[in-house]
Homo-oligomer: A and B are copies of this chain.
């Protein structure tokens, strides 16, 4: 079996393999893998949240840098992060794969096992999907469905001038991790906090607990995830909310591994933290008078931490405040 490829097993064989690994669906999935479509029982009185995100080989990952188990984890994490940014609780996932026919079956299994492990932890059982052959890159599209009460939805466009901007966790780690991989840094030679950057790049965590806590507390006016970086998220929330924004450079919680890597390579840790993508933290806009409720809800995700990094403004433009001097905030990760 060690030389088997996905082509040698065939589509129906792969689906059976997937179904066996996925196990029986929970009670709220009357029909899972193996029919024309999946059937999901919505929670009474709640809204359905749905999103899709994709990882394209050589654009978002390289098989020679990153094990497929990491890609399988990340393929789902990126969609779960979108649910987190809406305040939604995961309920189901689907997976659409375009696979090079010579992909070793062992790597397919590693991908699937990592996807399923995260799906299980997040409460988003795999209920369906699609398998195709790819004449080029491996393309993994995940679809995540979630549920949220209508008064607990976190939107992108709810910000107002004067709102404070808060960030979960730290930033710059994923961009630093990618830089380490792309410059051929050997994993054993990395400092522990640098190795953490590679792990954050390869296996991001969706901030689901934080998103639902803020939605339930109705403590955030707007929210978005940092898939394309802090600068991009600030820009998007400001644009959707018809405001400007200022980020205080001194407050940006740069990951220590990104700092260490920047120092070693004579790079700019703040640039990694502001413009680097794929940290999958959450950015919240919070009315000053809701600050108490926001911080109280923040205790429910205290393992991640929340940092006050800036504010929305009436004046247009998105700025980085470096000790009183305003610079235009950098761009995020560009997909084209």
A39 touches B34 (CB 8 A): no
A294-322, CB under 8 A of B: which get 1 and which 0? 00000000000000000000000000000
* Least distance between A122 CB and chain B CB atoms (Å): 14
**Residues of the B chain whose Cβ atoms lie less than 8 Å from the Cβ of A143:** 50, 52, 94, 143
Q: Which stretch of A3-11, A165-173, A248-256 is in the interface?
A: A3-11
- Copies of this chain in its oligomeric complex: 2
**Residues of the B chain whose Cβ atoms lie less than 8 Å from the Cβ of A225:** 36
Within 8 Å by CB of A133, from B50, B59, B88, lies: B59
Within 8 Å by CB of A48, from B48, B52, B54, B56, lies: B48
A101 to B51, CA, bound (A): 23
Cβ of A53 within 8 Å of any chain B Cβ, yes or no, is yes
Cβ of A132 within 8 Å of any chain B Cβ, yes or no, is yes
**Residues of the B chain whose Cβ atoms lie less than 8 Å from the Cβ of A240:** 34-35
B54 touches A38 (CB 8 A): no
A35 touches B155 (CB 8 A): yes
Given A7-B336, A133-B56, A135-B59, decide whether A40 and B36 contact each other with a Cβ distance below 8 A. Answer: no
* Least distance between A25 CB and chain B CB atoms (Å): 13
Q: Which stretch of A66-74, A146-154, A179-187, A188-196 is in the interface?
A: A146-154
B36 touches A335 (CB 8 A): no
Residues from 209 to 225 in A contacting B, C-beta threshold 8 Å = 223-225
A56-99, CB under 8 A of B: which get 1 and which 0? 11111000000000000000000001110110100010101010
Given A11-B334, A135-B136, A136-B135, decide whether A38 and B50 contact each other with a Cβ distance below 8 A. Answer: yes
9 smallest CB-CB distances across A and B, nearest first, come from: A136-B136, A37-B51, A36-B85, A42-B42, A11-B335, A36-B82, A37-B82, A7-B336, A40-B48
